[in-house]
Structure 1
Amino acid sequence: MEEAPMYKIPTIDLSAKSLLMLAQLGFFCVFAYWGYEDADTTAELMWPVMMLGAGLSLFLSVPNARKGTTLGIPAIMVIMGIATGETDMAFWAVFMLIIIGSLAYLPALAMGDPSLGLDEKSREMRLKGLYSLFAIMMLFMFSVVMSAAMDGEFADDGEDTDQVYTVEGNDKTIAQAGFAFGVIGLLVFMAIAVLGVELGPLRPWHGGALFSGAVFVDSYLWVTIADAAPVEFLWALAAGGIFTLVPCIAYENGHSPDESE
């Protein structure tokens, strides 16, 4: 029996599947950049190296890359947290398990990767649940759009002392629009894909595209108000690709998710 290759060079073109794989890689590359930017010690350089390695292994379809990435990164976070006495790192490892797992598995679920070993019904159920959970966490837990829209401020808790930024005038209006895009996009996806409700010509990926608007507004706020690096927009591009292309590929046959062929 012929052994599976250690890696596979993907075809890079303008197809939705190719762009989705690039978006997945881009997400991990931005994580790696953030880790490198914040690294103060040699040990902390493990994070960007780990993220870059995870992104490349997924992009090159290395065997067991999804499972290794999903379980390996949170496990290393727990070990590092215990070793350095930072117990809160173990807490965040739980959330990283969901985030990294979503990034690792959503593209494969959307494309129906046979290596998953799932039947069509199981694949679709996992796609709906994981996509919805990932979107909810990104909008309500890991985005500043909601606090900027509702409270007129957001905090950067990455430092020892929280830095609070005030959002006023047009920026607050933009934040409110972005939050509305996120909520409406999430509801559109869940109504059509999860509940099977028909909303005229709308498709699940339309909800993903609307949700991506919230992602771009989040990056806009960081860059224009918090003076973050423009790499934030690369993160928005990668995240927008995930949220838009996953449902686009999964439901590209033009039928409602629960409609029989």
Structure 2
Amino acid sequence: LTETSPVLCVNLPNNINPGTVGEAVEGVQIKVADDGEICAKGPNIMRGYFKLPEETAEVFDEEGFFHTGDVGEYNELTKCYAITDRKKEIIVLSNGKNVAPAPLENAIKGSTWIEQVVIVGNNRSFVGALIVPNFEKLEKWAQEQGLNLSREELVKDVKVEKMLLKEIAECCQSFSAYEKVRRIAILPRELKASEGEITPTLKVKRRIVNAHFGDFVEGIYNRPSEETCAVPEEKVTK
């Protein structure tokens, strides 16, 4: 970060831990706030934004710690920090629980059945997911199951949803109960950079995805529990 000039942590030669940003550099204090945000204090931290006192006040707390906007965790054994998400990406459930979508999405994408996934659930009672399956593998599986269905029919089929939910559950065993995906919507096409849904580096643009597939999200939360995903007919053909 520019505000931290710019290093807070580093993996030292005698303490390299893949998947982490390392331990705090000498002279820097780091704390993980109650909401998981990583905060830092030290001689390398900026004094403030030039002639922007209100913006400066927003990023410093009463103890003088700078709030980085990154969400992470600290490992007491290795003394290293790991970044798990950006705070602005955090999903807050209706019960107040915070869910970091990136770790969930990364875990789910470890499945060979899943090509793309977007976690949803802000202000909702449980976590849901928009899923783009590996259609080649899914269509082969469907034929083996005697399901002679088109792609448009596959994304609405209850057997397909149950199979994918089981696969997702296997991927998410290490997560807390409130973080686990309880229901999904299967999208009929992949997310595209040309539609503004992902960046050229394949990062999801959540606001745009939620706008383009809002009906699918609503289908996750509004349909009866015994039904498969409510896929809007006009959306399926796109």
TM-score interval for Structure 1 and Structure 2 normalised by the shorter chain? under 0.3
Pick the structure with greater CA Rg: 2
Q: Which structure shows the higher strand fraction?
A: 2
Which TM-score applies when normalising by structure 1?
0.26
Q: Which structure shows the higher helix fraction?
A: 1
Higher relative contact order (CA 8 A, sep 6+): 1
Which TM-score applies when normalising by structure 2?
0.28
